[in-house]
Structure 1
Amino acid sequence: MRGLKDKRIVVAGGATGIGAATAERLAGEGARVLVGDINVAGAKATVERVAAAGGTAAAAEFDLSDEVSVRALFERAVAEFGGVDGVFNVGADLSPGTIGRDGDLSEMDVAVWRRTFEVNLIGYAHSCRVAIPLLLAAGGGAIVNTSSSAAFVGEPLRPAYAASKAGVNALTRHVASRWGKEGVRCNGVSPGLVLSETGLAQMSEEFKAAVLAGTRSTRLGRPSDLAAAAAFLLSDDAEWINGQTWSIDGGGSLHD
């Protein structure tokens, strides 16, 4: 992939799943990666896999819902690598206490909505705001935000999560519109159901078959599918793509 070698990229949420797979893919393409996560043990495990494969990465503990912590993450990237060329925002609060209590609007829990927006949307805004001056100082760069098919399809549950991801799409377009002429690209990836092998092993064959039937693909999603798309959007090969959110979901959703 053109234009990732030696790029300095922050993965904000790289301990597990899509974030970990993307950190490993970026490092495999020659990028230097700072893996940030509230799960610092998971971030360090990602870095260990990168190092074992011959890549360059470092781990940092941070909290996406805390503005000070977000700023410290990027300060660490500058200290570690001398600057920032790209950002992958992928963190989200998927804990049972948050998304597990995100019922329909008649059961609205304001605390759940606040927490969801603090992490999934406001956290991304903080990350973008801190990153943009660093990208400008580097002569331009790229941000990729993680959205979700929930922002498009209309679900009977998870309205706070869906609204936060719709907000991420709007944030992505804003950054592209405001700073695109100055060399900053901002795009999004919108996964459908993407599970690790461990997660798939815990699900019944009937459920997996039902999910697969709703796609236009021969298999369910893998973290590596999103990693490939995010790496491309962060690379110089995607230099004429800006303000877009791509559905990476096996054809589960069809929309303009």
Structure 2
Amino acid sequence: MAGLLNDKVIIVAGLGGIGNGLAKRYADEGARLVIGDLDADLTTRVATDLDASGERVLPTALDGADEGSVASIVALAVDTFSRLDGIHVNFTSAADAYLPGGVVDMPLDVFDDVMRVNTRGFVICAKHAIPPMIDGGGGSIVFTASIDAYNGAGTRVAYQMSKAAELALMRHIARRYGPKGIRANAIAPGLIWHYKFDEMTMPDGVVDQTRARQMIKSRFGNPDDVAALGALLLSDDGSFITAQTISVDGGVTFRP
């Protein structure tokens, strides 16, 4: 039985906690994938786990904030599979995530790094992915954003600003390139528990505070929750959905 993404050519830009789940779900749905990450060893391991033949899942090193690197992953997809149907931009810098201060205390080098990756990097991915998708008759762009894009917080101001910028870029793409067959949407996760959290010590109170804010109390989100929505948005079943930000956060946010 064909999956939602049967034979679509999809780039997953950014692996790790959520990204590994995206790659697995999209491969299970029948997509042909090019996956990239700064961690080239991780990329190779994920690709081998998903497709030992190397015919349907191609790994490559990717620095999403470097234009040459992004151009290369797009070219690899098009040269290998003859087209590009979609890209899920999933990498992020959260360099200020656990800094205690606000904008007055923000080190500008940290601010610049977050904006370089989360804003400039997303622009570069859109710039290079849109033309071949238009050439192929259309396609879908999905951004992994965050509920921090519209939830105020007293810290991590650079991260919040960058995620709001991603939503502005998504809406621009949907309006400007929609008539040429390009759809663009964003997924805004809340706390998505993945293997990296098992390897770190969370700041005091974060887990309990998050559970208290969720309407779904039985569990935290996991990468499969994000991947399920991403598969829909990249698929023909989602072909009338564009310019939307959809939260995957267990009901932390209530938005029209």
Residue 193 (structure 1) aligned with residue 194 (structure 2) = no
Indicate how the Cα distance of structure 1 residues 24 and 102 shifts in structure 2: closer, same or farther if over 3 A, else same: farther
Q: CA deviation at 1:199?
A: 1.7
8 Å Cα contact 2:4/2:231 also seen in 1: no
Dislocated runs of 4+, deviation >3 Å: 52-55, 98-103, 200-210
Indicate how the Cα distance of structure 1 residues 210 and 106 shifts in structure 2: closer, same or farther if over 3 A, else same: same
Structure 2 residue matching 1:83: 3-state secondary structure: coil
Q: CA deviation at 1:113?
A: 1.4
Question: 2:205 and 2:62 mapped to 1: Cα distance?
Answer: 38
In structure 1, the partner of 2:68 is: 68
Query: Which runs of 5 or more residues in structure 2 are unaligned?
Result: none
Which amino acid letter does the alignment assign opposite residue 10 of structure 2?
I
Residue 111 (structure 1) aligned with residue 109 (structure 2) = yes
| Offset from partner CA, 1:195-245 (integer Å, 9 cap, x none) | 214525756897534321210112111011101111110011110000001
Question: 1:64 and 1:189 mapped to 2: Cα distance?
Answer: 18
Please show how residues 133-152 of structure 1 align to structure 2 within 5 Å.
133-152=131-150
Question: 2:205 and 2:105 mapped to 1: Cα distance?
Answer: 29
Question: 1:109 and 1:206 mapped to 2: Cα distance?
Answer: 25
In structure 1, the partner of 2:5 is: 4
Structure 1 residue matching 2:150: 3-state secondary structure: helix
Which amino acid letter does the alignment assign opposite residue 167 of structure 1?
A
**Structural RMSD (CA):** 2.2
8 Å Cα contact 1:86/1:142 also seen in 2: yes
Indicate how the Cα distance of structure 1 residues 54 and 131 shifts in structure 2: closer, same or farther if over 3 A, else same: closer
Please show how residues 1-256 of structure 1 align to structure 2 within 5 Å.
3-14=4-15, 16-51=16-51, 56-95=56-95, 99-101=97-99, 103-197=101-195, 199-200=197-198, 207-217=206-216, 218-256=218-256
Question: 2:240 and 2:81 mapped to 1: Cα distance?
Answer: 26
8 Å Cα contact 1:99/1:112 also seen in 2: no
8 Å Cα contact 1:102/1:108 also seen in 2: no
8 Å Cα contact 1:142/1:186 also seen in 2: yes
8 Å Cα contact 1:83/1:138 also seen in 2: yes
Identity %: 35
| TM-score (normalizing by structure 2) | 0.92
Query: Which runs of 5 or more residues in structure 1 are unaligned?
Result: none
Question: 2:232 and 2:100 mapped to 1: Cα distance?
Answer: 33
Which amino acid letter does the alignment assign opposite residue 60 of structure 2?
A
Structure 2 residue matching 1:172: 3-state secondary structure: helix
Corresponding pairs, count: 253
Q: CA deviation at 1:101?
A: 4.5
| Offset from partner CA, 1:78-111 (integer Å, 9 cap, x none) | 122222100000001235xx54458311102111
